[in-house]
């Protein structure tokens, strides 16, 4: 079964750091662009970051550029999101999602992990 599973969410203070991980299974992990998408409470979906299968290209939304770092370890089928200088408006459910090989549609999603930034 094709699956993505996020972990690492939790409660952190403003200015703190968290590291999210996404474990993939059931598909050739290194072949796919993977992304992070978040949904803040009461808000819509927001694309956060993405990375090509090889790791050569990384992309970030302006709202997280300079604070978040995406990485992946294809030998472990794992995608990571290092989140530094956290702010209250980073509070959200964070989803890991796989892009189709063609067409930029995100066809496989994890169940999400919740990040709460609060003092």
Q: What does the binding site for another protein look like in residue numbers (CB under 8 A)? A: 35, 37, 44-47, 50, 57, 59, 61, 95, 97, 100, 102-107, 109-112
- Give whichever of 39 and 77 is closer to another protein, judged by the CB atom: 39
CA distance 11 to 28: 33
Residue 38: name the closest of 77, 64, 4, 2 by CA. Answer: 64
Smallest gap, in angstroms, from Cβ of residue 53 to another protein? 15
CA distance 102 to 86: 33
- Give whichever of 44 and 75 is closer to another protein, judged by the CB atom: 44
Smallest gap, in angstroms, from Cβ of residue 75 to another protein? 25
Segment (H or E) for 44 = none
Smallest gap, in angstroms, from Cβ of residue 37 to another protein? 8
Residue 104: both structure tokens together? 């930029």
């Amino acid at each position: 079964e094709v699956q993505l599973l996020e972990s690492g969410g939790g409660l952190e203070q403003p200015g703190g750091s968290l590291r999210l991980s996404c474990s993939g299974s059931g598909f050739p992990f290194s072949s796919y662009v993977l992304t992070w998408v978040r949904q803040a409470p009461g808000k819509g979906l927001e694309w956060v970051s993405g990375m090509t299968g090889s790791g050569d290209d990384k992309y970030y939304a302006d709202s997280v550029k300079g604070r978040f770092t995406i990485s992946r370890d294809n030998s472990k089928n794992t995608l990571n999101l290092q989140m530094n200088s956290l702010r209250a408006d980073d509070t959200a459910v964070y989803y890991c999602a796989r892009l189709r090989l063609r067409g930029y549609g995100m066809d496989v999603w994890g169940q999400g992990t919740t990040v709460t930034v609060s003092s």
